[in-house]
Amino acid sequence: MHEGLRALTLMVAIPVSACSQEAASTARDVPPDVVVLLADDLGWGDVSWNAPHDVATPNLARLAREGLVFERYYTAPLCTPARAGLLTGRSPLRMGLVRNLGDSDAVGLPESEGLLPESFRRAGYATVLAGKWHLGDSPKEQPTARGFDHAYGCLGGWIDYATHERDGELDWQRDGTRVRERGWSTALIAREAVRALEQRDASKPLMLHVAFNAPHPPLAPPPGVRVDGLDAESARRATLALVVADLDSAIGAVVAAIERSPRARETLVFFASDNGADPRFGGSNGELSGGKATLFEGGIRVPALLWAPGRVEPGSTRRLVTHLDVLPTLASAAGVELDVPQPLDGRALWPELATGADARPVFAIERGGERRYAVLAGDLKLIETLDESGTASFALFDLVRDPGEARDISAERPADVTALRTELEGWLALPRVAPRSRKR
């Protein structure tokens, strides 16, 4: 393990120091801190509680044991729509963001969209982003123009972990200014998050979004580690496992910084992946079918948890939650009023987090001339495919009896197909805001 991350990881073993009564009283008088940890392309089978003999994620496994695990957490199947939904609480369908920026004419999140960090800032929170953005890179679209006081990391995807370059150009910035720094991106992002926790204004609550680019390709073993003597497929998986272990150590360092703080028990920590894994690069979605860029479970169902000592029961679980629900729920827990210009699609599930009713979310993706939509309703999922001519086909799956989506039951349950098609049509009829486009 390289030295920068080694120094951070050592913090995990440091016990929480006792807080004075005065510090504890002050902590209770300030709303809770909110920390959102996001991995990039981490699959269902890339965490140790779902694949215990394959990958090592002891820090995340500890948070899962001590917190609430989302057994069915759903997100968009690609980076840009996943982040757009998470930070707005609104369906990416409303914004025309069903592909990644760079893969379409869209070049940024619509300026009319309100980001939830803006509501936290209006409520008196300091707001910090450490890591990946991928929602636009013009001055009006960068994170410091969309609700974050400070931002550090990369604006796009596919950066090199060591050089921080994408397509030969540096993509590493602090508050909108490019900076060239030495270091592995995972360690640098963790270091920035730790700095934000340790140097924060104690009179203000903190909303910290830590968006790692790991384990997104281009993958390479972290510094000081080699993968030798394996066939190509095994080498890809071994490299992925090393990058994930490195990510887990970085998360452990961030959590250790939280635990050293007098506000340790006044902090809500949410963790998830932005979308499913891409098996071509060594990622695993376990028993789930498909992967990144698909609407099968492996593309949109990912590991997620909430760690909030004293606020959620250790070892508890929650059934169906989406990325649109995350910040409305955390805002409700923190007492933050979400003052946004557009209606939310996500739900505030606090305090009935473990017992609330399921949503009926819809997900979408466009590949070439083909469009696909998926709508979830309890145990069922309907996938509609529109080919280039506009001809529609449907597949219906029972996700409890058939989590691998091996058997299409649409012919057996036509009433359910009709009901879910009606649900989907309602979503597709919602008003939309076009993203900024290169054609303008």
Q: How many Å apart are CA 291 and CA 148, to the nearest integer? A: 31
Catalytic residue list contains 19: no
**Residue pair 218/193 in contact by the 8 Å Cβ criterion:** no
Q: Which two tokens stand for residue 194?
A: 């730790």
Residues of the chain with CATH 3.40.720.10: 3-13+21-359
Question: What is the predicted pLDDT for the residue at 439?
Answer: 53
**DSSP assignment, residue 113?**
P
Question: What is the predicted pLDDT for the residue at 104?
Answer: 61
* CATH topology (fold) of 363-437: Arylsulfatase, C-terminal domain (3.30.1120)
- What backbone phi and psi angles, to 5 degrees, belong to 335? 75, 25
Residues of the chain with CATH 3.30.1120.10: 363-437
Q: What is the Cβ-side half-sphere exposure of residue 233, based on CA atoms within 13 angstroms?
A: 2
DSSP string across 345-360: SS----S-TTTPPP--
* CATH topology (fold) of 3-13+21-359: Alkaline Phosphatase, subunit A (3.40.720)
Question: What is the predicted pLDDT for the residue at 7?
Answer: 38
Question: What is the predicted pLDDT for the residue at 1?
Answer: 44
**Residue pair 247/232 in contact by the 8 Å Cβ criterion:** no
The pTM assigned to this predicted structure is 0.92
Q: Residue 96: count other Cβ atoms within 10 Å of its Cβ.
A: 18
**Residue pair 150/178 in contact by the 8 Å Cβ criterion:** no
Q: How many Å apart are CA 439 and CA 161, to the nearest integer? A: 32
Identify the active-site residue in 19, 79, 150, 216.
79
**Residue pair 326/36 in contact by the 8 Å Cβ criterion:** yes
pLDDT digits (tens, 9 = 90+) for 98-146: 889 876 666 788 888 999 899 999 999 999 999 999 999 989 999 999 9
Question: What is the predicted pLDDT for the residue at 17?
Answer: 35
pLDDT less than 70: residues of the chain: 1-29, 103-106, 354-357, 436-440
Identify the active-site residue in 2, 19, 53, 134.
134
